[in-house]
């Protein structure tokens, strides 16, 4: 008996880990040697702007530095990703537990009786026999991982866990990027509100001058009406911007996990010159910096493990079981009884005919793997597109800002000169209206160009993966050891 047990144990251990799944290799992806839209790109000094966790710090906004970290704690989309990550960790522990034997403790108590009927001579009285039976047994069962199916399931669960970790990082980066975008947009809106408030005051002064000239009989009534139109139009634009600001404030509240009615953000100073230069690195590093790419690659690893699990169905399943217990007719004699109950078991199961079901499962797993590879490559291509788009936007917007500054300066001078000429009676008020409209449009366009450069920098940092690195997933493996 001992030799038999030893034989089964050695056979199980020698066959354990004979995995039937294909060895996993990261799929190839089209990676350029350099970025097309970054000729002569010079990284910022120091070149670690996006390596820090607080990648928004270079924008120099105190309120932003205080609000952005709260996204990782209070944002509900991030909270959902955290829950998904916790669920994936539980699945890994569940799959790992399947590699070990299961131990059970069973107990039972039964009371039975048998009655016998008597004949008439005994006045109809019968007899009854009652017996008790108590049993306690400890048992174990184990399915040796002969073909690596359980190990592949654990590897797949671990890949899913790492994908969930990357998706959590992606959700956090997305929410933080949206918050930074909204807050910088709110800063630009506040700057436009201040500009329009000053413009309304200037237009009102011009209206007063026109009314005085009309009262003196120097200009016609149409000049007063045109001046009033300018004032009302600027006031209408001012009210419209207040609506935009309210919507941005509401969006920031939701990103922070707060009800918009309970949140308000006072106007703050806008650091319009803060447009950080973002270090690019080599294009190949993007595969390690983008959490969505890492998540897609881990999905490929999961699909690869599923192929091995499907292949394992071709091989027989083997189970080992054993139990040891005692039994007695009295509860007090249970652990001193001489009757010992024991059992050893070996089960083998093999499907002989399934009309091609297993081969179909393997084909389905291969197709899922091919789809995961295609999605991974598409994610990589989209990532490079994002980077190239934002590099082009950053370059073009920098050139536009210089031109907008020139246009705004020239328009301001024209407005002042035309207004002076109107006061001296050299031009009509329609020329003043044209100059005022052009100058205001140029000022607002300049503010919008500055804001667009900042938002392009935010989008570029997000496209490069923020402060996240593929190596961060190594902490997952250490936590599961």
Give me the residue spans of the domains in the chain.
17-101+148-316+357-479
User: What pLDDT score was predicted for residue 276?
Assistant: 84
Distances, alpha carbon 444 to alpha carbons 151, 192, 449, 481, in Å: 62, 7, 9, 58
CATH class of the region 17-101+148-316+357-479: mainly alpha
Within 121-268, strands assigned E span 127-142
Mean pLDDT of the chain: 83
**Which run of H or of E encompasses 258?**
none
Percent of the chain with pLDDT strictly greater than 90: 43
| Residue 112 banded pLDDT, cuts 50, 70, 90 | confident
Instruction: Using the predicted structure, report yes or no on whether residue 429 has a pLDDT greater than 80.
Output: yes
With CA atoms as reference, report the closest residue to 464 among 275, 278, 276, 274.
Answer: 278
377 in Cβ contact with 384 (< 8 Å): no
| Residue 116 banded pLDDT, cuts 50, 70, 90 | low
Sheet with 127-142: list strands edge to edge.
102-116, 127-142, 317-328, 340-349
Cα dihedral: 164, 165, 170, 176 (round 10): 130
With CA atoms as reference, report the closest residue to 157 among 91, 215, 103.
Answer: 91
The neighbouring-strand residues paired with 345 are: 321
User: What pLDDT score was predicted for residue 102?
Assistant: 85
With CA atoms as reference, report the closest residue to 102 among 141, 146, 144.
Answer: 141
Instruction: Using the predicted structure, report yes or no on whether residue 355 has a pLDDT greater than 50.
Output: yes
The dihedral region occupied by 123, where left means phi > 0, alpha psi between -120 and 50, and beta the remainder, is left
With CA atoms as reference, report the closest residue to 35 among 279, 280, 275, 278.
Answer: 280
pLDDT in tens, 33-67: 888 887 654 443 333 334 447 889 889 999 999 99
User: What pLDDT score was predicted for residue 140?
Assistant: 84
With CA atoms as reference, report the closest residue to 46 among 272, 271, 278.
Answer: 278
**Which run of H or of E encompasses 446?**
helix 429-463
Instruction: Using the predicted structure, report yes or no on whether residue 190 has a pLDDT greater than 60.
Output: yes
- The stretch 125-140 carries a mean pLDDT of 76
End-to-end Cα spacing for the chain: 37
| Residue 425 banded pLDDT, cuts 50, 70, 90 | confident
Highest-scoring range by mean pLDDT, 281-295, 326-340, 419-433, 439-453: 439-453
The neighbouring-strand residues paired with 111 are: 132
């Amino acid at each position: 008996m001992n030799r038999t047990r030893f034989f089964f144990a050695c056979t199980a251990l020698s066959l354990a880990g004979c995995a039937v799944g294909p060895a996993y290799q990261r799929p190839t992806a089209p990676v350029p040697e350099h970025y097309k839209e970054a000729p002569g790109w010079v990284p910022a000094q120091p070149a670690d702007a996006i390596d820090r966790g607080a990648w928004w710090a270079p924008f120099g906004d105190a309120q932003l530095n205080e609000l952005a970290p709260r996204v990782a704690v209070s944002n509900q989309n991030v909270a959902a990703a955290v829950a998904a990550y916790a669920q994936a960790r539980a699945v890994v522990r569940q799959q790992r537990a399947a590699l070990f034997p299961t131990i059970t403790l069973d107990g039972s108590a039964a009371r039975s009786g048998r009655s016998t009927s008597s004949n008439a001579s005994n006045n109809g009285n019968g007899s009854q026999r009652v017996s008790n039976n108590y049993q306690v047994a400890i048992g174990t069962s184990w399915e040796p991982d002969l073909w690596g199916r359980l190990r592949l399931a654990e590897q797949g669960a671990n890949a899913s866990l790492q994908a969930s970790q990357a998706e959590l990082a992606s959700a956090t980066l997305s929410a933080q990027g949206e918050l930074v975008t909204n807050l910088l947009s709110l800063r630009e809106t506040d700057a436009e509100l201040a500009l329009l408030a000053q413009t309304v005051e200037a237009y009102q002064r011009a209206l007063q001058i026109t009314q005085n000239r009309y009262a003196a009989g120097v200009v016609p009534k149409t000049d007063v009406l045109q001046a009033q139109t300018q004032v009302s139009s600027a006031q209408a634009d001012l009210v419209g911007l207040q609506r935009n600001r309210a919507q941005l404030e509401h969006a920031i509240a939701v990103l922070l996990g707060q009800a918009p009615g309970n949140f308000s953000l006072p106007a703050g100073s806008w650091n319009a010159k803060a447009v950080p230069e973002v270090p690019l690195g080599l294009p190949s590093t993007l595969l390690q910096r983008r959490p969505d790419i890492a998540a897609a690659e881990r999905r490929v690893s999961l699909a690869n493990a599923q192929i091995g699990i499907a292949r394992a169905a071709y091989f027989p399943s083997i189970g080992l079981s054993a139990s040891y217990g005692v039994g007695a007719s009295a509860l007090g004699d249970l652990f001193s009884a001489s009757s010992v109950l024991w059992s050893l078991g070996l089960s083998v199961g093999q499907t002989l005919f399934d009309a091609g079901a297993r081969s179909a499962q393997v084909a389905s797993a291969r197709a899922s793997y091919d789809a995961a590879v295609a999605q991974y490559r598409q994610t990589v291509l989209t990532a490079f597109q994002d980077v190239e788009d934002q590099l082009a936007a950053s370059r073009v917007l920098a050139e536009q800002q210089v031109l907008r500054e020139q246009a705004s300066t020239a328009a301001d001078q024209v407005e002042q000169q035309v207004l002076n000429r109107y006061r001296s009676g050299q031009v009509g008020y329609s020329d003043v209206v044209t100059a005022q409209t052009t100058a205001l449009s140029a000022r607002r366009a300049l503010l919008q160009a500055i804001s667009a450069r900042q938002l392009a920098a935010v989008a570029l940092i997000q496209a490069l993966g923020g402060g996240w690195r593929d190596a961060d997933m190594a902490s997952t493996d250490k936590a599961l050891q």
